[in-house]
Amino acid sequence: MKQSLKDKENRELSAYGITRREFLWLSAMTGVGFMTGCAVNPVTGQRELMLMSEAQEISIDKQNSPHQISADYGTSLDRDLSNYVSRVGQSVVKNSHRPEMPYTFHTLNAAYVNAYAFPGGTIGITRGILLTLENEGELASLIGHEAGHVSARHTSQRMTRGLIAAVLVSGATVAAGDQMGDLVAGLGGIGAGALLAGYSRNQEREADALGLEYMALSDYNPEGFLGLMDMLNDMSNKNESYVATLFSTHPMSSERYETAVKAVRSGYAEERETRPIFKERYMDHTAGLRKIGPAIKAMQDGDGMMMQKNPGNAREHYERSLKTAPEDYAGNLKMAKCLMALEKHQDANRYAQKARQIYPEEHQAKHVLGMTHLRLKNFEQALAQFDAYEQGLPGNPNTIFFQGFSLEGMGRREDAAQKYYNYLQQVNQGEYAQHAHTRLKEWGYI
């Protein structure tokens, strides 16, 4: 019996628990257009419904990952460390199922323990997690796991199933570790966090299996994979705030742990006997990082206090951090945000300026500095910082609002109105939208 294409499509869609109407809405919202259709999963070789094409995976990655990287205080200024992580990363992904993806590796200044992958191959690894790893075999395993998510197209799968539809629409927060700080700095975030939001247990298991496969194919000792799993297992039992994001995106369970351990023990006897794990090499390249290890730990403590909305206590931890590493970009910027939360805007301004000097190419400090100027009613200087931020990292609607707010402070009503109007086209609820709307009304534009 012949069946119309539409019926077939409907059946395929309902198999994923979404109606045709929802699907069209989802397609429109994500800017993806019509059905990309079935695509072969590079890992399983099976045909699957995929909402995103490879080009779209790359483009969504390019749009979103710079915001997340900046929320994570940019990539490390420790060039030796960054280059080393990239080298290990490249050696692993060339043995993945999608070696042609434009992989990049970012050693992130953030202090919390986390690693993530965007769908086009942008992989982020925080200083916090690098500090807890003990050898190159573990690092290769971590990268292998993230490359597993990219290879098996897990973000596409989740988007196709409607699980992260809200991503590019509503402006959820980024997956950073110090939301209170981002709030006072007016950063908001533009949804990268939602894009990275939780993989399913099946996806985690698949990424583990692929991670082990890729690292072993890259001639690493699979003991490194066991080491990584032991580390994750220990951490997940501790329930500390600085690992919360890691486990909310990559769920851990005893079942996951046992499956991974079994896979190593059952298949790699010879490799485990003969291959090196490169502990010394890892220790050499992370020596600079470990030297400021106490500063990073103190940042984690401070971030934890900020998350509990206790900036007074956070300040003591950040002070401790800056004693060990006074020239640390993230340390200075975290202190600036903490002082803003304490309404010590002049002091906050000083730390934000210092952060800006330490790392002129990184964008977050521009926003934070702009915000401190705004609090001090230096509207012109605030505007200059928001303009610089918007130029370097366009796409955060909050910045447009604060450009408008600065212009309003400067008495440039028409320019302010334009910015408020632009803002309202992207965001239509919340405190800022209300302010923008009220002004446009008062000024007779609407």
Note the residues at the interface with Zn ion (CB under 5 A): 204, 207, 250
Strand, helix or coil for residue 313: helix
Minimum Å gap between C-beta 152 and Zn ion is: 10
> Considering beta carbons, is residue 54 or 204 the nearer one to Zn ion?
204
> Considering beta carbons, is residue 207 or 235 the nearer one to Zn ion?
207
Strand-strand pairing, 115-117 and 47-49: unpaired
> Considering beta carbons, is residue 180 or 212 the nearer one to Zn ion?
212
Strand, helix or coil for residue 278: coil
Minimum Å gap between C-beta 214 and Zn ion is: 13
Minimum Å gap between C-beta 361 and Zn ion is: 30
* Euclidean distance between CA atoms 357 and 360, whole angstroms: 6
* Euclidean distance between CA atoms 169 and 209, whole angstroms: 33
Q: Are 165 and 172 in contact (CB under 8 A)?
A: no
Token pair belonging to 148: 């597993």
Main-chain phi, psi angles of 11, to 5 degrees: -65, -40
Cβ-based neighbours of 338, under 8 Å, separated by 6 or more:
181, 302, 306, 311, 314, 315, 318
Overall size of the chain counted in residues: 446
Minimum Å gap between C-beta 260 and Zn ion is: 12
* Euclidean distance between CA atoms 338 and 368, whole angstroms: 11
> Considering beta carbons, is residue 60 or 207 the nearer one to Zn ion?
207
Residue 108 pairs in a beta bridge with 75, 126
> Considering beta carbons, is residue 250 or 334 the nearer one to Zn ion?
250
Strand, helix or coil for residue 288: helix
> Considering beta carbons, is residue 127 or 158 the nearer one to Zn ion?
158
H-type helices in 198-253, by residue range? 201-217, 223-238, 244-249
Residue 122 pairs in a beta bridge with 104
> Considering beta carbons, is residue 153 or 356 the nearer one to Zn ion?
153
Minimum Å gap between C-beta 392 and Zn ion is: 30
> Considering beta carbons, is residue 197 or 365 the nearer one to Zn ion?
197
Q: Residue for token digits 């206590």?
A: 313
CA angle 163/114/299 to nearest 5° reads 130
* Euclidean distance between CA atoms 231 and 226, whole angstroms: 9
> Considering beta carbons, is residue 202 or 425 the nearer one to Zn ion?
202
Nearest one of 374, 352, 371 to 362, comparing CA atoms: 352
Minimum Å gap between C-beta 207 and Zn ion is: 5
Number of residue whose CB is nearest Zn ion:
250
Minimum Å gap between C-beta 236 and Zn ion is: 13
Minimum Å gap between C-beta 141 and Zn ion is: 12
Minimum Å gap between C-beta 203 and Zn ion is: 7
> Considering beta carbons, is residue 32 or 93 the nearer one to Zn ion?
93
Minimum Å gap between C-beta 119 and Zn ion is: 13
Q: In what order do the strands lie in the sheet with 104-108?
A: 104-108, 122-126, 115-117
Main-chain phi, psi angles of 266, to 5 degrees: -85, -15
Distance of CA 339 to the CA centre of its chain: 24
